[in-house]
Amino acid sequence: MNNSSNKESVVLADDPCLAGVSLLDFTAVVGIVEMVKWLLNRLRVKTMPTRARIPLYQPLLRVFCRNNCTQVAWLFLKSLHKIKNMPEELNLTLFQSFHWYNSLDGKFWVDRIKDVPELKGLGISHVWLPPAYKESQGAKGVGYAVYDLFDLGEFDQKGSVRTKYGTKDEYLTCIKAFQEQGIKVIVDVVMNHRCGADEKEKVMVRNVESGDRGKRPGEPYEKEIPTKYTFPGRRGQYSSYIWDFQSFTAVNDDCDNKENSTFYLIELAYSHGFDKVPSTQFGNFDYLLGADVNFRNKDVREELKWWGEWYCNTVHFDGVRLDAVKHMSSDFINEWVSYVQEKTGKKLLVIGEDWSQSVDELTKYQDMSFGKIQLFDVPLHYNLSRASKERDFDLRTLLNGSLVKSCPELAITFVDNHDTQPLQGLESPVDEWFQPLAYAVILLRKEGIPCVFAPSIYGASYSDKNKDEQNVEIELLSVPGIKEMLRVRKERAYGEQRDYFDLPHLVGWTREGVNDRLETGCAVLINNGDAGQKDMEVGRRHAGQTFRDVLNHVQGKVVINEEGWGTFKVKERSVSVWVKE
């Protein structure tokens, strides 16, 4: 092995994502990756995306796994992003198409079709659609209080045929419209709980205090609880499975009663207590809300796997966003993902929502999934939120403790979403003035896959009650410059990245571009203090060329010198994105 490979191994050994693996393993794996890279180049596999190239590595991974080297196999995948000069792939960009307060008029699916041409032009590669199945509030529900996973707006249940978003036929038409323009569709999958039971059952339960599940539950007693789901409107179509108390671990009296701190642990013959889940918050965070699904029940697991197969074959989605994964058995999630992909023959983009501010917890979950699941970068969101609110925030620390810094190949970055928007339970929005800076960070850097929130492009207005039960009017404005930055990501933000995180209130980076696309390359500055400037290298390939601020915040031009450097400027508390004329 040459010296450069050994040097790369040392760098890998410092990666917190890979703690506990020996340097010998790193050296061996990096050598294998270099060998595979050489083979791919010999075969002229230049433009195939990394995810499409993964199947080419499967024979090696199978050898690892057969020899009980699962950790090394996972390390092999993790190390791919560390190897320089791999063929450049087109940037992926996700779009979250909804927010919590979309209209109740039932026209969501129809209206989204109108957005397809613009989103395609902005470089959106994947669209994340809201939960499409019937929930406990019928046509008024956002979709996360799941009632019937098989009802996509087809059956008269919970007071309506359609969901909040429209009918099943409109849903299928919407998906087809995106896919015909080359935009892949990610569906929202909520398997953790059920709400809106059709009947109650009298069973033995124990009281549990939600704030401390480590305490011994109370003594068992008999109680009527809402745990029987018969789906009378569907009448057994697609599935005849009846959910009863044996399908659940625990239940509350009311899915929407957030004030009740007590829920009921169901006494079952085949399992005792809570399931083992990734989150140890409150002692055990298996129970979240409603009737908590018991994944230790074999019939439940088979039903959910069948539903996943049916759902994919019915709507032909390209990826899934898995809700509340830290509250569910990671073994089952791995089983479900593998089953659906095997049965449908589709390689899905799988994204998990593990709402944790601890990057250690996130990387631990990724290890549990052996790289099958990418995660939203929750720590980065909170960094961006704090940076928008703290006047003296040190921008050099903006990426500290983030998933995109620790494990960039599995990070989905975002600025805000439906949970963090004003008046929601995880309310922590990034302040308006900082949103353009935040989007520059997630859109124009090399690491991570960004997810753009619909109101950031189209705006939103709504009203709801705050914590003091006062009605509040909210208006979310579209983010200035976001369309320009999306186009820069689509067309120019490629190639080697050079970071200039050397001043507390003024940081920047450059992307050199790639040789086969002459228009590529850019320089970015973000600033939360006074106006400033910074000398940055964009590469000698740009020598003599003129750059301008595509956001038009700074007037004038920058001519790149013969060494590939330029002096770039930015205004007070602002962002500038410099590209070639």
Residue 429 counted as domain residue: yes
In sequence order, the 6+-apart residues with CB closer than 8 A to the CB of 102 are 108, 130, 164, 165
Query: According to the model, what pLDDT value does residue 451 have?
Result: 98
Strands 522-527 and 506-511: antiparallel
DSSP assignment of 493-518: --B-EEEEEEETTEEEEEE-BBTTBT
Is the CB of residue 1 less than 8 Å from the CB of residue 31?
yes
Which uninterrupted H or E stretch holds 176?
helix 168-180
Asked if 416 and 507 sit in the same domain, the reply is no
323 is catalytic: yes
In sequence order, the 6+-apart residues with CB closer than 8 A to the CB of 299 are 241, 247
Asked if 117 and 155 sit in the same domain, the reply is yes
Give which of 224, 266, 262, 261 is closest to 249, Cα–Cα.
266
Per the structure, the count of domains in the chain is 4
Q: Which of 323, 354, 361, 367 is catalytic?
A: 323
Query: According to the model, what pLDDT value does residue 518 have?
Result: 86
Host domain of residue 236: 195-298
Query: According to the model, what pLDDT value does residue 276 have?
Result: 78
156 is catalytic: no
Asked if 408 and 509 sit in the same domain, the reply is no
Cα–Cα distance measured from residue 440 to residue 396, given in angstroms and rounded to the nearest whole number: 15
Asked if 261 and 130 sit in the same domain, the reply is no
Decide which of 461, 487, 513 is a domain's last residue.
487
Asked if 331 and 439 sit in the same domain, the reply is yes
Asked if 465 and 379 sit in the same domain, the reply is yes
Residue 89 counted as domain residue: no
Residue 415: which CATH number?
Answer: 3.20.20.80
Residue 88 counted as domain residue: no
Asked if 389 and 241 sit in the same domain, the reply is no
Tell me, what DSSP letter sits at residue 221?
E
Is the CB of residue 370 less than 8 Å from the CB of residue 407?
no
Residue 389 counted as domain residue: yes
Alpha helices in 398-538 (DSSP H): 403-406, 435-444, 454-458, 482-491
Residue 355 counted as domain residue: yes
Decide which of 246, 264, 298 is a domain's last residue.
298
Q: How many CB atoms lie within 10 A of CB 231?
A: 23
Decide which of 442, 459, 487 is a domain's last residue.
487
Query: According to the model, what pLDDT value does residue 51 have?
Result: 42
Q: Which of 8, 275, 353, 361 is catalytic?
A: 353
Residue 37 counted as domain residue: yes
Asked if 387 and 467 sit in the same domain, the reply is yes
Averages of pLDDT over each 10 residues, the chain, 581 residues:
35 42 49 54 43 44 46 52 50 98 98 98 98 97 96 98 98 98 98 95 88 74 95 98 95 63 76 73 75 94 98 98 91 94 95 94 88 94 98 97 94 97 96 98 97 98 94 97 98 97 98 92 98 98 97 97 98 98 93
What is the model's pTM?
Answer: 0.85
Residue 288: which CATH number?
Answer: 2.40.30.140
